[in-house]
């Protein structure tokens, strides 16, 4: 196609100065693309460092409001909250997950009272509430029970919706849970509550710091989460998962992790053209931080490049532990 076109076609002409590079830039990062994940704990005036997530702490609800205020001041429009539940509240049936006075509903109500304009996403899964750390209810043989789990996820989602969550985010990868929650919302007058589905959630080694942050136990049995999370070798399967979630009523679909699965993100966004999120997960964030601490990369430049890669691959929304840093850097550009 391009044979014998040189020297008439010289693509470097559009790279020679900043103004033209800006004019022809195909993708841009905006602060409104970002969602900031925050870890919460019970108590008052609590801040607990998370060693594997530099610059991050678990916060009690009163301290959560200070973090939310920083987000608002920087222009971040939404946050996602993840609880660390006291082990005394874990049980075989994850009953604390649907307690209307539990940690997450209380946090949502406090956020909405103080910052009504701030979007709040809540995690719908049982791993924070079960003895074994699985995202669902297990039987005596260690098998995660899909339909039993769905019944509890419905209750959890309704509690979050009642508290005022803008979006509930089923991250459990149980079959049929999006349709079940959407039907429950319709029947209980929560038609305007959104569902962000973790449609392509892979069984990944990049979640380690997150599990420390939530205090998730690791008694997962010999199969771990392989019986319900996606095999990293598969992309067709992720495509089918996204199609099902969309058909069942998901408003936004997500790919998790982010950078190792940009091909999946691109394919899903290109095919479905639905609002699509990418989760820049804890291990991805921690690796950049570790490299920067060793002087191997320029963190500021590397994190902006990372965000741009998500946008180029098709992400409309980026969940990232670097959201506050990215928002600050964008103000400096």
What is the predicted pLDDT for the residue at 301? 98
What is the predicted pLDDT for the residue at 254? 98
**Residue found under tokens 């990369």:** 297
What whole-number distance in Å separates Cα of residue 78 and Cα of residue 40?
A: 16
Handedness of CA 209, 210, 213, 217 (dihedral sign): negative
What is the predicted pLDDT for the residue at 304? 98
Angle at 32 between CA 30 and CA 33, to 5 degrees: 70
Pick from 59, 36, 76: which is nearest to 279 by CA? 36
What is the predicted pLDDT for the residue at 219? 58
What is the predicted pLDDT for the residue at 135? 87
What is the predicted pLDDT for the residue at 9? 87
What whole-number distance in Å separates Cα of residue 213 and Cα of residue 196?
A: 22
**Residue found under tokens 């610059």:** 55
Residue 115, domain extent: 31-332
What whole-number distance in Å separates Cα of residue 87 and Cα of residue 41?
A: 12
Given 225, 256, 269, 289, the catalytic residue: 256
What is the predicted pLDDT for the residue at 216? 64
CATH of the domain at 136: 3.20.20.70
Query: Is 225 part of the annotated catalytic residue set?
Result: no
- Counting the structural domains of the chain, the total is 1
What is the Cα 299 distance to its own chain's centre?
21
What is the predicted pLDDT for the residue at 215? 63
Q: What is the pTM of this model?
A: 0.94
Q: Is residue 15 part of a domain?
A: no
Query: Is 301 part of the annotated catalytic residue set?
Result: no
Q: Is residue 19 part of a domain?
A: no
pLDDT digits (tens, 9 = 90+) for 105-164: 999 999 999 999 999 999 999 988 987 778 899 888 888 999 999 999 999 999 999 999
Q: Is residue 5 part of a domain?
A: no
Beta strand ranges found along the chain (DSSP E): 34-41, 47-49, 57-59, 78-84, 119-124, 167-170, 194-201, 252-256, 276-280, 317-320
Name the packing angle between helices 299-313 and 262-272 (round to 10°).
Answer: 40
Query: Average pLDDT of each block of 10 consecutive residues along the chain (333 residues)?
Result: 78 94 95 97 94 92 98 98 84 89 98 98 93 85 92 98 98 96 98 97 88 64 81 97 98 97 98 97 95 97 98 98 98 90
Length of the chain as a residue count: 333
Q: Is residue 9 part of a domain?
A: no
Q: Is residue 240 part of a domain?
A: yes
Angle at 265 between CA 145 and CA 228, to 5 degrees: 10
Q: Is residue 4 part of a domain?
A: no
Pick from 225, 223, 206, 222: which is nearest to 52 by CA? 206
Given 201, 225, 269, 289, the catalytic residue: 201
Query: What are the residues whose beta carbons fall under 8 Å from the beta carbon of 5, sequence distance 6 or more?
Result: none
Q: Is residue 10 part of a domain?
A: no
What is the predicted pLDDT for the residue at 48? 93
What is the predicted pLDDT for the residue at 234? 98
Backbone torsions φ then ψ of 7, nearest 5 degrees: -100, 10
Q: Is residue 25 part of a domain?
A: no
What whole-number distance in Å separates Cα of residue 331 and Cα of residue 24?
A: 21
């Amino acid at each position: 196609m391009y044979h014998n076109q040189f020297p008439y076609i010289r693509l470097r002409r559009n790279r020679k100065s900043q103004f033209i590079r800006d004019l022809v830039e195909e993708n841009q990062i905006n602060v409104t693309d970002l969602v900031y994940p925050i870890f919460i704990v019970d108590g008052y005036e609590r801040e607990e460092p998370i060693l594997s997530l530099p610059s991050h702490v678990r916060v009690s609800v009163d301290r959560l409001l200070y973090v939310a205020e920083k987000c608002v001041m920087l222009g971040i429009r939404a946050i996602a909250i993840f609880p660390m539940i006291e082990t005394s509240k874990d049980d075989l049936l994850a009953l604390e997950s649907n307690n209307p006075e539990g940690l997450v509903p209380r946090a949502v109500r406090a956020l909405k009272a103080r910052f009504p304009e701030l979007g709040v996403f809540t995690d719908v899964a049982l791993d924070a509430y079960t003895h074994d750390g699985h995202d669902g209810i297990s039987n005596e043989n260690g098998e995660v029970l899909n339909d039993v789990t769905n019944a509890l996820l419905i209750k959890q989602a309704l509690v979050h919706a009642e508290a005022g969550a803008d979006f509930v985010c089923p991250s459990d990868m149980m079959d049929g849970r999006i349709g079940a929650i959407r039907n429950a919302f319709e029947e209980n007058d929560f038609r305007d509550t959104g569902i962000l589905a973790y449609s392509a959630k892979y069984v990944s080694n990049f979640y380690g710091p997150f599990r420390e942050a939530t205090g998730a136990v690791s008694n997962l049995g010999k199969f771990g989460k392989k019986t319900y999370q996606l095999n990293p070798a598969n992309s067709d399967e992720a495509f089918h998962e996204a199609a099902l979630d969309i058909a069942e009523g998901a408003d936004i679909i997500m790919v998790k992790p982010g950078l190792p699965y940009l091909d999946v993100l691109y394919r899903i966004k290109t095919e479905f053209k639905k609002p699509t999120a990418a989760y820049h997960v804890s291990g991805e964030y921690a690796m950049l931080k570790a490299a920067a601490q060793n002087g191997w990369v320029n963190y500021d430049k590397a994190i902006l490049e990372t965000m741009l890669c998500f946008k180029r691959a098709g992400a409309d929304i980026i969940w990232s532990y670097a959201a506050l840093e990215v928002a600050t850097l964008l103000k400096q550009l």
